[in-house]
């Protein structure tokens, strides 16, 4: 795989937004399962499509895979996430997020049936003010 940040371009936001973001639906507490609340790391990462990034107005526009909670990763997990979920994508955007600017409940937990732990953001969103860096990656 090419170096992760090769062929990266800094994106600018699309200035015309068709409407306001819908508020996230709160997830059911019982769906959280066994969780472990950790001290927030300074930065986490989110990989999204270029189309979703272009639709972002006040907050990051997310796909339906983030309906119950927002999937986030550490810098160490990022390459594995890209290889697993974005290998067939011709382009995608990596967002570096300042966690102090996130609202909601940030939880470090394993996915059902798994042992690796990931950060999940419940009852929150990613405001554009939390994005410290955005990189378009093309293959």
What pLDDT score was predicted for residue 113? 85
Class of domain 35-138: alpha beta
Q: pLDDT tens digit string along 108-139?
A: 999 878 889 999 999 999 999 999 999 999 98
Pair 15, 56: CB distance under 8 Å: no
What pLDDT score was predicted for residue 77? 96
Six-digit token string for 57: 């107005």
What pLDDT score was predicted for residue 67? 87
Q: Which is it for strands 43-48 and 105-110: parallel, antiparallel or unpaired?
A: unpaired
What pLDDT score was predicted for residue 94? 97
Query: Which run of H or E residues covers position 29?
Result: helix 29-32
Q: Which residues contact 73 (CB under 8 A, 6 or more apart)?
A: 44, 45, 46, 47, 81, 118, 119
Q: pLDDT tens digit string along 11-54?
A: 333 333 444 444 443 333 333 444 444 577 999 999 999 999 99
Q: pLDDT tens digit string along 52-103?
A: 999 998 789 998 888 889 999 999 999 999 999 999 999 999 999 999 999 8
What pLDDT score was predicted for residue 105? 94
What pLDDT score was predicted for residue 100? 95
Six-digit token string for 84: 């697993």
Phi, psi of 115, rounded to the nearest 5 degrees: -120, -25
Instruction: Look at the block and give the residue holding tokens 């062929």.
Output: 7
Pair 11, 136: CB distance under 8 Å: yes
Give the pTM: 0.72
- Residue 83, classed as helix, strand or coil, is helix
What pLDDT score was predicted for residue 109? 94
């Amino acid at each position: 795989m090419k170096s992760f940040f090769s062929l990266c371009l800094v994106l600018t936001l699309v200035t015309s937004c068709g409407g306001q973001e819908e508020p996230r639906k709160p997830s059911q507490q019982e769906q959280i399962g066994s969780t472990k609340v950790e001290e927030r790391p300074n930065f986490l990462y989110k990989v999204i499509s270029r189309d979703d990034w272009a639709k972002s107005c006040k907050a990051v526009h997310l796909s339906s895979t983030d309906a119950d909670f927002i999937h986030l990763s550490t810098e160490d997990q990022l390459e594995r996430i890209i290889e697993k979920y974005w290998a067939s994508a011709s382009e995608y955007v990596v967002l570096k997020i300042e966690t102090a600017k996130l609202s909601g409940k940030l939880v470090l937990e394993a996915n059902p049936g798994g042992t690796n732990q990931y950060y999940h953001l419940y009852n929150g969103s990613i405001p554009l003010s939390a994005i410290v860096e955005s990189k378009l990656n093309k293959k």
